[in-house]
Structure 1
Amino acid sequence: MSGPGRFVRVDGVPLHVVVEGRGPVCVLSAGLAMAWFDWDPVAALLVAAGRTVVRFDRPGHGLSGPATEAPTAAGEAHRIARVLDALQSAGAVDAGQAGPVTVVGHSIAGFHAEAFARLYPERTAALVLVDSSVEEVPRALLSAGLRTGVARVLGRAVTAVGLPAALGPLARRAAVRASRTGGSDPAARDLVRRCYRTGRVWRGALLENACYLDVAAEMPALRLAHPSAAPATVLAGHDGSGSRAALRWLARQAALADRLGARFEVAEPAGHLVMLDRPDQVARAVLSTAEQGQPRA
């Protein structure tokens, strides 16, 4: 389903954006090192249900320009808002549907989506977190400056020796297989090669990963300073096993839902890439949560 998309410039970075459908707007943001096409199965279901679906690649991801600054939760929330502003200015999103949006974040993008809901409550109809990152007490042993510096040096080094071109698509395929319950990577080979053979994506993923704990550490203060009244759902992936690690992850996701006053659902069987393993359940969660946020007649 992946369309050709367009590029909008936000804070000097060209961001790749795909807009499809008509109706209330849903914004889908993928996890670390993932791309817009990883939402294809969910996007198709939402478009069929009468929604406008907006997908964009963060800096250094997918087809977007290189990451120039270390990411923050608030910064990524502002980026979502500016992407929507740019699309509305360009007429890419129906003026009649330019109201509050349902924002959906997977993995680390769960932090970004929640930050958007808190910083832009008037623009948020609903919030859905899909197997979101969760850190109860985020603590980093090394300074943020040192970690980002190492990430930048490592990114330049792996690019210089040709690792992305040699191993990028294989690494992507292996990571997707490991994050699903028995499924392979459904992404088109040409798209995977186009994105993952570039050092730009490797550098972006390394930088975002280096800032992970810093982004997580922003969330408690945001929750305290900016309460959110938007209906929310936490959808956790579970592989169906009774392993200690799997049950512990479900408990942490349930605690996150309780902390946010959100509905808690389990997608089973599903790995971390719930949108690929259970796209139907993700789409249902998005639609049902959005319906809770609609004004009653």
Structure 2
Amino acid sequence: MVVEGSGPPVVLSTGLAMAWFDWDPVAALLVAAGRTVIRFDRPGHGLSGPATAPPTAAGEARRIAGLLDALGPVGAAPVTVAGHSIAAFHAEAFARLYPERTAALVLVDGSVEEQPHAVLPTGLRTGAARALGRALAAAGLPAAVGPAARRAAVRLSRTGGPDPAARDLVRRCYRTGRVWRGILLENARYPDMAAEVLALRSHRPLTAPTTVLAGYDGSGSAAALHWLDRQRGLAAALGARFETVAPAGHLVMLDRPDQTARAVLSASTGAPAPPQRRA
């Protein structure tokens, strides 16, 4: 866990296969704006220890609450929670399960599953993920190609350039079988967490002001426009403010840290949304 700055607290949670340092540009802007910024790596991600159990949305919400508890007075104030990609499930679960601790919720190009389902049973998917993780580590693939795979994935998920993360941090994380096992295990539980959040929506109201940020690369492709439509649908389902971030790939916080930080600040202060460009 990394804690910086002072002022109202903000939790930044990364998506699948990412790490705390992927929020660096946004964190710097929030600290400069007078916020306490809290970042962390989930088990099996970044610099944290291995994932010993499959993740759940409620479990990740409890993890955020536990991190805040560990911070004492800093974590006692209502917090703005921002979740990217799959961590949007975790952030929304936190806001629904801990409404008294949530000042605002920001979903940054968050995962959307209108009707989550899985082809294979949960146990089979989990077992296959564990076995594949062990096999990759035994073959030495994380050490051989892990950092290069991370950098390639980041480039493909951006519109604005290469991976800005420090090379030593990337090597420390992505050369380890621990991280790749964590990625596979979390990915295997993706449909379960999506279904869990959908169930929470039926009996745990969302009371915090919510913003949905959708990355848009400006291409006008059918896939990009369909993604925007799904993000708009998510915003409508949550009664949230909708904002397009463009030009940006899926890694919105790297392509447009300025707009991402403004959205977090606006969510926590109740400021009006900036004018929207239409796609």
CA distance in 2, matches of 1:240, 1:212: 28
SS at match of 2:170: helix
Cα distance change of structure 1 residues 243 and 96 upon mapping to structure 2, 3 Å threshold: closer
Match of 2:44 among 53, 57, 60: 60
Residues 2-35 of structure 1, C-alpha deviation per residue, up to 9 Å, x if partnerless?
A: xxxxxxxxxxxxxxx0000000000000000100
CA distance in 1, matches of 2:130, 2:205: 35
CA distance in 1, matches of 2:75, 2:49: 28
CA distance in 2, matches of 1:130, 1:96: 24
Query: Would the aligned equivalents of 1:26 and 1:51 in 2 still touch at CA under 8 Å?
Result: yes
- Please, what TM-score do these two structures have when normalized by structure 1? 0.90
Q: Please state if 1:171 is matched with 2:171.
A: no
CA distance in 2, matches of 1:29, 1:253: 19
Match of 2:197 among 204, 213, 219: 219
CA drift at 1:97: 6.3
Equivalence map 1:1-297=2 (5 Å): 17-88=1-72, 95=73, 98-292=76-270
Amino acid of the structure 2 residue aligned with 1:79:
R
Amino acid of the structure 2 residue aligned with 1:71:
P
CA distance in 2, matches of 1:153, 1:103: 33
Query: Would the aligned equivalents of 1:23 and 1:97 in 2 still touch at CA under 8 Å?
Result: no
Residues 259-287 of structure 1, C-alpha deviation per residue, up to 9 Å, x if partnerless?
A: 00000000000000000000000000000
Cα distance change of structure 1 residues 191 and 96 upon mapping to structure 2, 3 Å threshold: closer
Query: Would the aligned equivalents of 1:164 and 1:202 in 2 still touch at CA under 8 Å?
Result: yes
CA drift at 1:224: 1.1
CA drift at 1:220: 1.7
Amino acid of the structure 1 residue aligned with 2:52:
T
SS at match of 2:178: helix
List structure 1 runs of 4+ shifted beyond 2 angstroms: 95-98
CA distance in 1, matches of 2:5, 2:21: 16
CA drift at 1:225: 1.0
Return 5+ residue gaps in structure 1 as ranges. 1-16, 89-94
Match of 1:10 in 2: none
Aligned length: 271
CA drift at 1:292: 1.8
Amino acid of the structure 2 residue aligned with 1:261:
G
SS at match of 1:68: coil
SS at match of 1:216: helix
Query: Would the aligned equivalents of 2:68 and 2:74 in 1 still touch at CA under 8 Å?
Result: no
CA distance in 1, matches of 2:75, 2:230: 35
Query: Would the aligned equivalents of 1:24 and 1:97 in 2 still touch at CA under 8 Å?
Result: no
CA drift at 1:108: 0.0
Query: Would the aligned equivalents of 1:76 and 1:112 in 2 still touch at CA under 8 Å?
Result: yes
CA distance in 2, matches of 1:86, 1:136: 35
CA drift at 1:182: 4.0
CA distance in 2, matches of 1:69, 1:228: 28
Identity of aligned pairs, percent? 77
SS at match of 1:105: strand
CA distance in 1, matches of 2:14, 2:71: 19
Query: Would the aligned equivalents of 1:28 and 1:104 in 2 still touch at CA under 8 Å?
Result: yes
CA distance in 1, matches of 2:84, 2:51: 19
CA distance in 1, matches of 2:7, 2:34: 5
CA drift at 1:96: 6.2
CA distance in 1, matches of 2:183, 2:244: 27
CA drift at 1:86: 1.3
Amino acid of the structure 2 residue aligned with 1:25:
P
CA distance in 2, matches of 1:105, 1:129: 5
- Please, what TM-score do these two structures have when normalized by structure 2? 0.96
Residues 134-182 of structure 1, C-alpha deviation per residue, up to 9 Å, x if partnerless?
A: 0011110100000000000000000001000000000000000000004
SS at match of 2:247: coil
CA distance in 2, matches of 1:247, 1:72: 30
Residues 231-261 of structure 1, C-alpha deviation per residue, up to 9 Å, x if partnerless?
A: 0100000000110000000000000000000
